[in-house]
Each structure stands twice: as structure tokens, then as C-alpha cells.
Amino acid sequence: MKHALLLGLALLLSACSRAPDTGDLHQILSRQFQRQLGPDAVMIRNLEKQDGKAESDQGYLVDVRFDLVFLKSFDDLARQTEDKARNGQWLGVLGQGLSLWQLHMQYGSFQSGDVVQVQQRLELVKTDNGWDLAENWSKP
């Protein structure tokens, strides 16, 4: 009985301190792109975790590579943002516009169906609900 309790506790602690896996990373990136551009703007394919390093009990650096598939063109996303602004939906329009402009600077005037390969380093933080981008938890 004592051994079973210790084994259960060890499993629980190892699950809490585990490194983020590709499922976690896919969820984090998808959620971030959805926040920035709205639903159904992009899709992440062929996500690979290249390397990772624990920075602390609560922090992790990870290098990823993935294909970013544009489901809508730059012009379509820009038009959606303009329509929201015209309809008085100001909440999030500025941030979405800045994110869209940043994508345009990186990838040009992308079209629906375009695929670009992305390599980047993510700084993650462990939250009560799992891993998330550290930038979402920075102090004001």
C-alpha cells in the first residue's frame, strides 16, 4: 500500500513538471494565432520540437519548426479587420491589425493556401492550466 502511494505521488509530480510536448506546443501556437488574427486565418502543420531547455521549474525554452498555412489571404484578413472597425468592434481590432501588419512584413502579400516554414524559439511559462507563452504573462 505504501509503495502504491509513493508510486502514485511520483507519477503526479512527474506529470506536473514534464516538459511541453508537441501537443502542448500546437495548442499554444494555435491559440496565439487565433488571438492575433481571429479564427480560421491560419493552420499549423508538421510541427516539430527541435530542442528544449528548462529555465526553471516554471520556465522552458523550446525551438520549434512548423508549416504555417494561410487559410485566408492578407487582403481578406485586412478587409475583415476594416469591417470590424467600421462596425464599431474596436476591442481587439488594433492588436489584430498590428499582428496582420507584422505577418505582411514577414511574408509579404500572402494568399489563401500559401505555406511558409517557420522556425522560432518560444519562451514558455508553466501556469495552473498548463504551458503558455511567457509574453502572455508578463507583468504590466
Q: With respect to residue 78, please indicate whether it lies within any of the assigned structural domains.
A: yes
The answer to whether 16 touches 8, Cβ cutoff 8 Å, is no
Q: With respect to residue 55, please indicate whether it lies within any of the assigned structural domains.
A: yes
Query: Which residues fall within 8 angstroms of residue 20, CB to CB, at 6 or more apart?
Result: 28, 49, 52, 60, 62, 124, 131
Question: pTM above the 0.85 mark?
Answer: no
Query: What's the confidence (pLDDT) of residue 94?
Result: 74
Query: What's the confidence (pLDDT) of residue 130?
Result: 94
Q: How many domains does the chain have?
A: 1
The 10s digit of each residue's pLDDT in 83-97 is 877 877 666 677 788
pLDDT over threshold 70, residue 20: yes
Q: With respect to residue 11, please indicate whether it lies within any of the assigned structural domains.
A: no
Residues 24-45: what's their mean pLDDT? 94
Q: With respect to residue 4, please indicate whether it lies within any of the assigned structural domains.
A: no
Q: With respect to residue 38, please indicate whether it lies within any of the assigned structural domains.
A: yes
Q: With respect to residue 107, please indicate whether it lies within any of the assigned structural domains.
A: yes
Q: How many CB atoms lie within 10 A of CB 66?
A: 21
Domain that holds residue 118: 20-135
The 10s digit of each residue's pLDDT in 37-58 is 888 999 999 999 999 999 988 9
